[in-house]
Amino acid sequence: MGFSPTVDIALVAVLFAVISRVLQHVLLDKEKMESIQAELKVKQKKQKELMARKDAGSAKELEGLNTEMMALMSESMKGFPKLMGVSLVVFLPLWWLVASVYGNARVELFYPFSLVKPSIGWFWWYFIMSVIASAVIGVVIQRIHNALRKKPVGVNVS
């Protein structure tokens, strides 16, 4: 595409990670997911307490609680099929393009890794770079999200 396969594929991995995060942000309701997770955590604590008791009333309450938890888990998964469908439409043509350009390309690894294996196929280089890029982007987004949630110091809201 432009540089060496090593740089090109690393840039593609970063681009794909950014696109993936943008799609997640647009298609998934993060606040709703967080509230469902918090509610599940409370229900799991209650579930443990009920499991510790061995009476019939607790067993019946536990059954109802399990039903509620299953409904919450189902609710939290509702956005994922849409995300997967959109992701397939976006990423499959991009994958085809990358595979057609770099189908047989090998990436030369740098020093510590080259001792184990001097070169790897483009897909494995993409995979490594994608994991690293996704982790870094996730940390950055989480820090920004946490910073935006904090209330300014010294502001009295009455």
pLDDT in tens, the chain (158 residues): 577 888 899 999 999 999 998 888 888 888 888 889 999 999 999 888 888 887 878 888 888 888 999 999 998 888 888 889 999 999 999 889 988 988 888 888 877 776 787 888 889 999 999 999 999 998 998 888 788 877 555 555 54
* pTM (two decimals): 0.70
- Least Cα distance to 47 among 14, 73, 79, 20 occurs for 73
- The closest alpha carbon to 132, from 16, 25, 30, belongs to 16
Indicate the domain borders of the chain: 1-28+87-149, 29-78
CA-based angle 3:7:11, to the nearest 5?
110
DSSP lists the bridge partners of residue 121 as 106
Tell me what pLDDT residue 17 has: 92
pLDDT at position 70 is: 92
Q: Sort 91 into a burial class: Cβ within 10 Å, 0-12 / 13-18 / 19+.
A: middle
* Length, in residues, of the chain: 158
